[in-house]
Structure 1
């Protein structure tokens, strides 16, 4: 009689074959939630929970590459997370910069998605240095959302747009007429990129918490109970299959 491991692998291969015939998401967002709760349940430190979560990101990106998904946005640190204890943030900043460096060294195109100004100066410098040393050799592009807040992103985009229009000498009414959805979109952190087709959130929470608020207007969502460090390949495949079977009408 086949053991559970064999049955699991058979199921995984069946899911992968099924997806090979379906239209896949071109931009995938993921809220990597539950690192601290995973650590508590496992008897590990909070820092170890974050490290395991970072390692899962690297693994997750290889799954996306296997399906030829071209763009992934990973929410590593929210604007609200900056209120956490200093000791936890110090460890988090180190884990984030190490992870970014590993992805750059692996050949991914890595783009910072967030307001770097809210990060400590030394963290910003470390991120800049790691990004500069990279050479893109892979097809998958990765947005790392660090210090990211959805409301803050929209405010920053509108502020940039208003300053740009004001520098042209336009009057207030003329500026107001130029503030369109298209114009704001051109000033978002994800400017020039497609909106996410699917957003995955782990840990059982069923909310976006401000993740890609503007861009997710037509996104599909998939929530699961698993904490992020425990997220499995089969969970990923199930999420993609569920997305592929939905009928997307985009409000029409």
Structure 2
């Protein structure tokens, strides 16, 4: 499968909604938290797979602002798992030349999570390959509101005029400022929603939503997603005839 991928047409940025952990655990007759633990191998595989193919940015929707509404024991278990996972994966990140970054309201995370994140980001900051972005306590609407607030304050303070606000300037004030929009968004488990994820950035992304549950996602599934992407015609509002002329 990998050998069929056209190297010159690999997405620069892939975004992933890692869905299906709870259903996977239920199929195994286990608690939802077991599904989250089992998802770590999928994270490792997709990260390594993207690094091998020359993808520049991989954004994983790890924890949404809405996830705080889940039962406290599940949230606590997720946070503990996040700390242990980040600490345990630094060697893998270094071996694959992967730089770690985050987007979202990370101030709302527990202190130990913030500390481990900061340590991993610092340890990997000199790496020059794939940038792995963890969306933590993140929502697309929050991000757009934050950008609007920043721009409103800049207008109020006389730093910019309202007519200067365009798509490029607005994009710079998003959490992903300076990062290209994802060309491909993958959501596992077959659900057909984007769940408040990168609402601005996904405007022209190709969507790929396989039935496979996230804990079962492997490099071969990533390769299938990229091959599907490469078979599509990206028109950005134009007609096929305009693209070929």
Instruction: Determine if the TM-score, normalized by the shorter chain, exceeds 0.5.
Output: yes
> Using a 3 Å threshold, how does the CA distance of structure 1 residues 143 and 99 change in structure 2: closer, same or farther?
same
The residue matched to 2:121 in structure 1 has which SS? Answer: helix
**Does 2:139 align with 1:149?**
yes
**What is the CA-CA distance between 1:21 and the residue it aligns to?**
5.3
Q: Tell me the TM-score normalised to structure 2 length.
A: 0.88
The structure 1 residue matched to 2:200, chosen from 214, 218, 221, is 214
Partner of 1:118: 108
Alignment map for 1:83-232 (pairs within 5 Å):
83-105=69-91, 106-107=93-94, 108-137=98-127, 139-168=129-158, 174=161, 176-232=162-218
In structure 1, runs of 5+ residues without a counterpart are 1-14
> Using a 3 Å threshold, how does the CA distance of structure 1 residues 130 and 19 change in structure 2: closer, same or farther?
closer
The structure 1 residue matched to 2:224, chosen from 238, 242, 245, is 238
In structure 2, runs of 5+ residues without a counterpart are 239-245
Q: Deviations over 1:97-141 (max 9, x none)?
A: 333334444222111111213333443334223323335335111
Instruction: Report if aligned partners of 2:185, 2:206 keep a CA contact under 8 Å in 1.
Output: yes
Q: Tell me the TM-score normalised to structure 1 length.
A: 0.86
Give, in whole Å, the separation in 2 of the partners of 1:126 and 1:187.
26
RMSD (Å), alpha carbons: 1.9
> Using a 3 Å threshold, how does the CA distance of structure 1 residues 139 and 129 change in structure 2: closer, same or farther?
closer
More deviation in 221-230 or 179-188? 179-188
Give, in whole Å, the separation in 1 of the partners of 2:197 and 2:130.
21
Give, in whole Å, the separation in 2 of the partners of 1:138 and 1:43.
42
Instruction: Report if aligned partners of 1:22, 1:244 keep a CA contact under 8 Å in 2.
Output: no
Q: What is the count of residue pairs matched by the alignment?
A: 234
Q: Max radius of gyration: which structure?
A: 1
**What is the CA-CA distance between 1:205 and the residue it aligns to?**
0.3
The residue matched to 1:212 in structure 2 has which SS? Answer: coil
> Using a 3 Å threshold, how does the CA distance of structure 1 residues 224 and 188 change in structure 2: closer, same or farther?
same
Give, in whole Å, the separation in 2 of the partners of 1:89 and 1:138.
33
Q: Deviations over 1:37-64 (max 9, x none)?
A: 1011012222221111123101111111
Moved over 6 A (4+): none
